């Protein structure tokens, strides 16, 4: 049975916030898992991480972690000093998540986010090779600490290296570590793939984490994603990992800016009511 989770930034408008209040909010709504910002957890002291871990455990809530590396930590950068900083930051994150008991660290952990192809670049292979080398460097630490690194496939408007399931499959195979898998998201799949179901099936056992949301980033059940196709594909590959919804509906703050939410998508609806309804919809779809 898949754990169903929600990303804290559905409610938060800035990235680096106290994660503890969202533990109770997600648990009260009936979720099995809360996804939090990996960088925020890494910047807590040991006591802060223990408090977050213990609070989640007390509420019966699993935790997963997500981040998009900023430019100063781009592990695909041509500048070796920037890559070294990114590798050190990823290692700090891995150690922090290891202290939390391990689990999934997903997102754009293979380059910078948001980022476009640099001017004049015609071939992204050199950037991919630098990224692969960086992930190979941190993978042994992840293996030792029980951390799974899930590289997220995102659309062309947010990043340029991994836009399709096929690209991510090739990337993961080149890294060649049991602690590096890929992560798919229905929002991005809808933009880039000819078939959402086929993209999921192609990933097969390399699929380490799954994000869900509608075509306009509303919670599941409010749009036109072909959910029966998504569920059938997940069943076909016997996916047993977490399924985390990642809606973004609020204007303003760092989150609204980076996700490019330029209009209020709430339509007067209560955020908690919408999350509760989306959870019920997702559970029914998976039943």
> Which domains does the chain carry?
4-286 (3.20.20.150)
Q: Dihedral, CA atoms, 75, 78, 79, 85, nearest 10 degrees? A: 0
pLDDT band at 271 (very low <50, low <70, confident <90, very high): very high
Instruction: Read off the pLDDT of residues 62-105 as tens digits, 9 standing for 90 and up.
Output: 999 999 999 999 999 999 999 999 999 999 999 999 999 999 99
Could you tell me which residues come within 8 angstroms of residue 252 by beta carbon, excluding any fewer than 6 positions away? 13
> Are the beta carbons of 67 and 37 closer than 8 angstroms?
yes
Distance (Å, whole) CA 173 – CA 103? 20
pTM of the model: 0.97
Burial (CB count within 10 angstroms: exposed 0-12, middle 13-18, buried 19+), residue 271? middle
Average pLDDT (186-205) is 99
Q: Phi, psi at residue 231, to the nearest 5°? A: -65, -40
Report the pLDDT value the prediction gives residue 269, as an integer from 0 to 100.
Answer: 96
Distance (Å, whole) CA 131 – CA 110? 6
> Are the beta carbons of 131 and 80 closer than 8 angstroms?
no
Report the pLDDT value the prediction gives residue 109, as an integer from 0 to 100.
Answer: 99
Question: What is the longest distance spanned by two Cα atoms in the chain?
Answer: 52
Instruction: Read off the pLDDT of residues 96-149 as tens digits, 9 standing for 90 and up.
Output: 999 999 999 999 999 999 999 999 999 999 999 999 999 999 999 999 999 999
Which are the catalytic amino acids?
152, 246
* Spatial CA neighbour of 186 closest among 150, 153, 159, 156: 153
pLDDT for 1 beyond 90: no
Distance of CA 82 to the CA centre of its chain: 22
Instruction: Read off the pLDDT of residues 207-251 as tens digits, 9 standing for 90 and up.
Output: 999 999 999 999 999 999 999 999 999 999 999 999 999 999 999
Report the pLDDT value the prediction gives residue 118, as an integer from 0 to 100.
Answer: 92
> For 197, left (φ over 0), alpha (ψ -120 to 50), or beta?
alpha
Alpha-carbon separation of residue 19 from 44, 71, 281 (angstroms): 10, 24, 25
DSSP E strands in 109-249: the ranges are: 147-152, 180-185, 207-212, 243-245
How many Cβ atoms sit within 10 Å of the Cβ of residue 226? 14
Instruction: Classify 1 as helix, strand or coil.
Output: coil
CA angle, corner 35, sides to 256 and 127, nearest 5? 70
Report the pLDDT value the prediction gives residue 62, as an integer from 0 to 100.
Answer: 99
Instruction: Read off the pLDDT of residues 16-62 as tens digits, 9 standing for 90 and up.
Output: 999 999 999 999 999 999 999 999 999 999 999 999 999 999 999 99
Burial (CB count within 10 angstroms: exposed 0-12, middle 13-18, buried 19+), residue 87? middle
């Amino acid at each position: 049975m898949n754990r169903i989770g929600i990303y804290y930034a559905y409610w938060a408008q800035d990235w680096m916030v106290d994660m503890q209040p969202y533990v109770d909010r997600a648990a009260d709504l009936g979720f099995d898992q809360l996804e939090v910002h990996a960088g925020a957890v890494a910047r807590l002291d040991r006591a802060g991480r223990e408090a977050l871990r213990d609070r989640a455990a007390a509420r019966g809530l699993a935790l997963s972690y997500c981040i998009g590396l900023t430019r100063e930590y781009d592990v695909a950068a041509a500048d070796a000093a920037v890559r070294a900083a990114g590798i050190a930051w990823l290692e700090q994150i891995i150690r922090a998540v290891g202290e939390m008991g391990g689990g999934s660290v997903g997102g754009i952990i293979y380059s910078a986010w948001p980022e476009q192809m640099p001017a004049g670049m015609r071939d992204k292979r050199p950037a991919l090779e630098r990224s692969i080398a960086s992930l190979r460097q941190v993978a042994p630490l992840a293996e030792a600490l029980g951390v799974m690194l899930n590289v997220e496939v995102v659309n062309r408007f947010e990043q340029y290296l991994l836009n399709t399931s096929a690209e991510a499959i090739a990337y993961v195979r080149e890294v060649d570590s049991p602690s590096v898998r890929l992560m798919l998201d229905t929002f991005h799949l809808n933009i880039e793939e000819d078939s959402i179901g086929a993209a999921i099936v192609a990933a097969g056992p390399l699929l380490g984490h799954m994000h869900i949301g509608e075509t306009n980033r509303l919670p599941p059940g409010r749009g036109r994603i072909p959910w029966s196709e998504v569920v059938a594909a997940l069943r076909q590959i016997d996916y047993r990992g977490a399924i985390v919804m990642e809606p973004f509906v609020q204007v303003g703050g760092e989150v609204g800016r980076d996700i490019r939410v330029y209009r209020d998508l709430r339509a007067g609806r209560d955020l908690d009511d919408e999350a509760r309804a989306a959870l019920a919809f997702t559970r029914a779809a998976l039943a």
